[in-house]
Amino acid sequence: FSITIPATIYVILKSKISIPYSLQITHFLFYYCILIIAISIKNYLIFALEKAWQEARSKTEQLKESYKTNLQVAHDLRSPIGALNAISHKLESEDPTLQKVLNNSIERINAISDHLLLEHKQKLDDLEKDFFDLEAELDSVVAEKKVEFANIPNLNIRIEMNEPLIRPLSIPRDEFHRVISNLVNNSVEALENRESKQILVRVMPQSSFLILEIEDNGCGISKDQVSQIFKENFTTKDQGTGIGLSYCQATVRSWGGSLKLKSSSSKGTLFEARVPYAKK
């Protein structure tokens, strides 16, 4: 948009069509105002998104601290509850009625403690599921792979993310990490006979979903294997298990997304994952 408007202004000003100079100035100011408004809207959206991320991270940290406190309280309650249980056993022969009351009280204390822990953990899990730093998570995968494959020469794994996320994702962080890790592993194995080994993780936010592409310049996948690569237990490797790609596709589908082989040739392979955003 920011390219189209200036180009239009340029065409109007350079046009051979006879347009009064005052009208040219009016057109220029009109399109210039539209350009300023468009840039302002874009900057506002980026600001709003960053603010939402900061608030989500702050809320997550607060819940983590609250959960730690409740966990400590639950742990500290074990000693007095243990003492009450010991007293309860002694009351069995002396006063069964009092023992029953005491046992009921102990059960209530345990139930309240368990409820507090479960409630906070569920809230924390929901926040960590919906709000995590995508770029930081991808950086984490790449850093992990650089250590894992440090003995492979000329291996270059990089991330391309030119636009911020429009909306947060609604997927488990650990599952996302494993899917990207598996896809990168698959690419590394395809680069075995390449002198220069290139892997690109491309992030492309769309209006209703996020596109993730994992591209390599490896040996590609033969035509007779393309239809089988996502099948469980299918592998082309001598020591492969055949669960990597099938796991990735099943997991992405469980998020409500999709994973497919977009292209493959002797010059490399490109996988595309479409991941849904969190529901509004």
Paired sense of beta strands 155-161 and 258-265, if any: unpaired
- What pLDDT is attached to residue 163? 82
Q: What mean pLDDT is predicted for residues 122-141?
A: 72
The domains of the chain are located at 1-131, 134-276
Answer with the residue of higher pLDDT: 278 or 262. Answer: 262
Q: Rounded to whole angstroms, how far apart are CA atoms 151 and 129?
A: 34
Give the CATH fold of the 134-276 domain: Heat Shock Protein 90 (3.30.565)
Q: What's the chain's Rg over C-alpha atoms?
A: 29
Burial grade of 198 (CB within 10 A; 0-12, 13-18, 19 or more):
middle
Phi/psi of residue 220, nearest 5 degrees: 80, 180
Average pLDDT, the chain: 76
Q: What are phi and psi of 270, to 5 degrees?
A: -135, 115
pLDDT tier, 198 (very low <50, low <70, confident <90, very high otherwise): very high
Which of the pair, 90 or 176, is modelled with greater confidence?
A: 176
